[in-house]
Chain A
Amino acid sequence: MRSRFIPGTRAAPWLACLGLLVLWQIAALALKNDSFPTAWAAIRAIPLILADKEALINILASQRRMTIGFAVAIVVSVPLGLMMGRSRAVASFFNPLLMVIYPVPKAALMPIIMLWLGVGDLSKTLVIFLGVSLPVIYHSFEGAKSVEEKMLWSGAAMGLSAAQRMVRIVLPAALPEILTGCRTGLVLALITMVTSEMIARQSGAGNILFNALDMGEYDLVFAMIIIIGAMGICLDAMFETLRARLVRWSEPQFDMPLSFS
């Protein structure tokens, strides 16, 4: 039942994109609904957004917040997750807190955080940070937990201190799992970014989307959806390339993302 290597795998996602766009085009032509433009009309509207200087600045500002939030989350969450994975006490200390936070939509904290910190970059970056942290902690935790005990024993026998074992053995051994978490976190960063901008409605990609919706410029709505979608797919593909290089020694993984927690 194991999936085999199929020639032409590289082209398949492009074909899938094309297929989805064609499907959209046909559906739009069939429905003849004013508020559902054809794929072609939406694609033609993309340059309108990208040529608009203000919109472009908005999108880039969104990107910057996303990058900062993501980076800070990785720096904080990976060590925390690894420590939780190797120490039962640390794990049982943090687990209930994380379980309580888990089902809370991070972007929903936006109104409260805005109340405290204002509508600036800080609030939005903080929300992205919160959104990314949980899956990265979770996957680092799982990765560190499943590190072979005997590997650590050999490390200790070779004279590595506890801290050295963490960096030289646990971190690389858990790397495949950590990177899976980062991949999930990256897409979540984008989702949280868009959602928080949809809720805060001040600036950014999510705001452009809903402004266009309010103005009834449906071509622009769908063009913006394509832009955000493309951002997600490109980020994921880039990260996947990086991941494959970093953990080439690991067992071949499924080329589909496996977890979206």
Chain B
Amino acid sequence: MTVRAQDLLLGLVPLALVIALWQALVSFGYAPATLLPPPGLVFRRLAQQLTTLTFEQDVAATLFRLFAGFLIAVVLGVTIGIAAAASPLINSAVRPVVRVLAPLPKVALYPALLLLLGFGHGSKITLVTADALFPILLSTYYGASTVEQKLVWSALAAGTPPREVLFKVILPAAAPSILTGCRIGLVISCIVVFLAEMITSTDGLGHVLVTAARTFQAVDMFVPLITISLLGLILNGALGALRSYLLRGFPEV
């Protein structure tokens, strides 16, 4: 057995323990099934829900907001981050604004976004963008401003016009850092879209949870939580695969 397989097996132990403990709590009557439904019931309910159209529509709504917000954040974050690293003028303007806005709890802006953009997709996508933007922007900036000077010199000496250096050297050299930022941004997007849907929404996974909570359907409260966790795992895995493909030349990916 390889070391990797051993590690994987070792990692499954706590997951199995959690599920076993969960089952035990129900089986031995420490928790009533109305508060803590047994795991088998929850997973069966999840499998059943995944085939219903309404649940699928909720997942689709969540995914749409997640991707829209995340992609806007990637475009904005990478552009501003590179620009701030390349130009001292832009840097001196962006730096203090980021210093103020990055630690601001963006979720507090949500009521303002609701008032300005309404209760539809717009306000939720904007909130996702606002939250995912800063990790991407900051790691892009960090990556772009620590690019080895001599890579730039080598490209300039080979006849690259200075304005093309940005795309031909800085952007690819900062790619590892940018993708790390994207990974953090993606997880944050998952979290934020769910929360926004919980606070006010008429569809989406967060709304499913709130509806279940109002009617004290414990089983239906677990289903959307497990779904978002699975979505997060799948998206994270997909981004990881993209990352190792894009960075195949870089050491220690």
Partners in one complex: yes
* Cα distance A231–B237 in the bound complex, in angstroms: 35
Contact of B115 among A218, A237, A255 (CB under 8 A): A218
Asked if A257 contacts B236 (CB within 8 A), the reply is: no
Q: Does B194 contact A (CB under 8 A)?
A: yes
Asked if A6 contacts B99 (CB within 8 A), the reply is: no
Asked if B221 contacts A112 (CB within 8 A), the reply is: yes
Asked if A97 contacts B18 (CB within 8 A), the reply is: yes
Q: Which of A99-115 contact B (CB under 8 A)?
A: 99-109, 111-112, 115
Q: Does A94 contact B (CB under 8 A)?
A: yes
* Cα distance A108–B233 in the bound complex, in angstroms: 17
Asked if B96 contacts A221 (CB within 8 A), the reply is: no
Asked if B99 contacts A16 (CB within 8 A), the reply is: yes
Taking the nearest CB of chain B, how far is it from the CB of A169, in angstroms? 23
| Complex interface: chain A residues within 8 A of B139 (CB) | 258-259
Interface string of B118-145 (1 = CB under 8 A from A): 0000000000000000110011011011
Residue from the set B102, B135, B191 with the largest chain A CB neighbour count within 10 Å: B191
| Complex interface: chain A residues within 8 A of B187 (CB) | 102-103, 261
Q: Which residues of B are at the interface with A, using a C-beta cutoff of 8 A? A: 6-8, 10-15, 18, 31, 35-36, 85-86, 88, 91-92, 95-112, 114-116, 134-135, 138-139, 141-142, 144-147, 149, 152, 170, 184, 187-188, 190-192, 194-195, 198-199, 206, 209-210, 213, 216, 218, 221-222, 225, 228-229, 231-233, 235-236
| Complex interface: chain A residues within 8 A of B7 (CB) | 88, 92
Asked whether A108 and B15 contact (CB < 8 A) given A103-B228, A103-B232, A228-B105, the answer is no
Asked if A115 contacts B135 (CB within 8 A), the reply is: no
Asked if B105 contacts A96 (CB within 8 A), the reply is: no
Contact of B116 among A2, A36, A96 (CB under 8 A): A36
| Complex interface: chain B residues within 8 A of A255 (CB) | 95, 99
Query: 23 pairs across A/B with beta carbons < 8 Å?
Result: A1-B170, A6-B92, A12-B92, A12-B96, A16-B99, A33-B115, A35-B116, A36-B116, A97-B11, A97-B15, A99-B233, A103-B232, A105-B190, A105-B194, A112-B222, A116-B36, A225-B112, A232-B108, A257-B103, A257-B138, A258-B142, A260-B134, A261-B135
Count class of interface residues, chain A = 35 or more
* Cα distance A15–B115 in the bound complex, in angstroms: 27
* Cα distance A1–B142 in the bound complex, in angstroms: 10
Residue of B nearest to A188 (CB): B105
| Complex interface: chain A residues within 8 A of B109 (CB) | 225
4 nearest CB pairs, A to B: A103-B232, A236-B103, A96-B11, A12-B96
Asked if A1 contacts B147 (CB within 8 A), the reply is: yes
Asked if A187 contacts B225 (CB within 8 A), the reply is: no
Asked if B216 contacts A115 (CB within 8 A), the reply is: yes
Asked if B188 contacts A209 (CB within 8 A), the reply is: no
| Complex interface: chain A residues within 8 A of B209 (CB) | 108, 111
Asked if B229 contacts A100 (CB within 8 A), the reply is: yes
Asked if A256 contacts B138 (CB within 8 A), the reply is: yes
| Complex interface: chain B residues within 8 A of A218 (CB) | 115
Contact of A109 among B13, B97, B225, B233 (CB under 8 A): B225
Residue of B nearest to A183 (CB): B103
Asked if A2 contacts B233 (CB within 8 A), the reply is: no
Taking the nearest CB of chain B, how far is it from the CB of A94, in angstroms? 7
Asked if A233 contacts B194 (CB within 8 A), the reply is: no
Q: Does A222 contact B (CB under 8 A)?
A: yes
* Cα distance A233–B233 in the bound complex, in angstroms: 31
| Complex interface: chain A residues within 8 A of B144 (CB) | 1
Contact of A99 among B152, B228, B236 (CB under 8 A): B236
| Complex interface: chain B residues within 8 A of A190 (CB) | 105
Asked if B107 contacts A195 (CB within 8 A), the reply is: yes
Q: Does A178 contact B (CB under 8 A)?
A: no
